[in-house]
Chains A and B, each alone.
Chain A
């Protein structure tokens, strides 16, 4: 991470440079500029998902769908195999004159397990892709960052970014309308 080993003004390793923006319009506009300048390790923090911020930041389509799809297939497979093995192989018993593997009657359980596995894997996948749960993050040290869940919009460009240059970034964030530009120590 600290290939450049960037340090803050006090000499400790630097995580990022952050700036506060007054509203979603300004922060989206700033995000578009930062995207166009080719930065890769940076983030926009906002109290709610800003409409169109994915475009403004140049985010790729979310991969949560793959987790959900894998969950659905797993659920269907487990359900059908389980019912087939339990009702037709391990404990075959004629009930209501139906075949041992009466697949029509196995559909409700198959559907329910597919929904269950899809939901669990979508949420687990979402958390995994986001690197959560996480006990600590350098941004959490900043008092101003505690207001991001309320009404603040913050952009932080990380020191790990290959194009990182503290002076350029300070100037860039100020030009884009950023206020309270500050260093975030690791």
Chain B
């Protein structure tokens, strides 16, 4: 999870950040489920179902915003100077 956070913080484009946040959300879902197993509380699985859905909807919403508001070009100049 910390490695995904590293990519989210240093990723050169917006899409890297969105991808890292999506992976982070998937890992959070699995962490909540495993925590529910470790603490013998199966209610945590419902929380992780809700978290999976919210993660998906949030990713789609951010992508739509960046695609239709024309904010997609955020490439730094040193990445394009090949």
Q: Do A and B bind each other?
A: no
Which residues on B are within 8 Å of A, measured CB to CB? none
